Structure 1
Amino acid sequence: MKFIVQWNGQPTAQQSAVERFMKTGGALPPDGVKLLGRWHSIGELSGFAIVESDNTAPMAAWVLQWGDLFTFRVAPALSDEELGAALGAYQAGK
């Protein structure tokens, strides 16, 4: 299953976030989480990633690595095709 992972940091965390990112290269997710892409906002401590996982436990471990600097929002994500199939099933059941 795919997930959208969004993060936001406070301005007071900027220096620590920069140092950790440069040291770790952004700390790739652990085994069990495949990073499909990651994007960062310009001029603020925020961004999002698209990941794929069948298990939320390694996802929780990954975001906890950064939890002292950022808040996270993790939500399931559907492609257009997946959403279309779900909407079609919903309409058929009405």
Structure 2
Amino acid sequence: MKFIVQWNGLPTAENSVIERFMKTGGQAPEGVKLLGRWHAVGGLHGFAVVEAEDTRGLAALALEWGDLLTMSVVPAMTDEELGAALGAQQAARK
């Protein structure tokens, strides 16, 4: 399943975030596949799209950065997946 992970940090955490990212490379924990990650220019916020079979790796990710960033993790669907769900809903209504 795919998830969107968004993060925000306070300016006071900037040096610590940079240090940790440079040390770890921001690698995803076991069980989480990073599909893409984007960072805002001039701020400690951005988002990533990841894939995971369950939430254990997502919890590890949030806990790893939770002392420096606030994180939001929500399920995500592709256009194709959403289209299939909408098609099934329309068919059920007929």
TM, length-normalised to structure 2: 0.94
RMSD, matched Cα: 0.8
| Residue aligning to 1:83 | 82
Report the Cα distance in structure 1 between the residues aligned to 2:72 and 2:29, rounded to whole angstroms.
18
Cα deviation for residue 54 of structure 1 reads 0.7
Structure 2 counterpart of 1:50, one-letter code:
V
Cα deviation for residue 53 of structure 1 reads 0.6
State whether structure 2 residue 71 is matched by structure 1 residue 72. Answer: yes
3-state secondary structure, aligned to 1:65: helix
Give per-residue Cα distances to partners, 1:14-63, cap 9 Å, x unaligned: 1111111111112x112211111111000000011110011101110112
Which runs of no fewer than 5 residues in structure 1 stay unpaired?
none
Give per-residue Cα distances to partners, 1:46-94, cap 9 Å, x unaligned: 0111100111011101121000000011111100000000001111112
TM, length-normalised to structure 1: 0.94
Structure 2 counterpart of 1:35, one-letter code:
L
State whether structure 2 residue 26 is matched by structure 1 residue 22. Answer: no
3-state secondary structure, aligned to 2:75: strand
Which runs of no fewer than 5 residues in structure 2 stay unpaired?
none
Moved over 6 A (4+): none
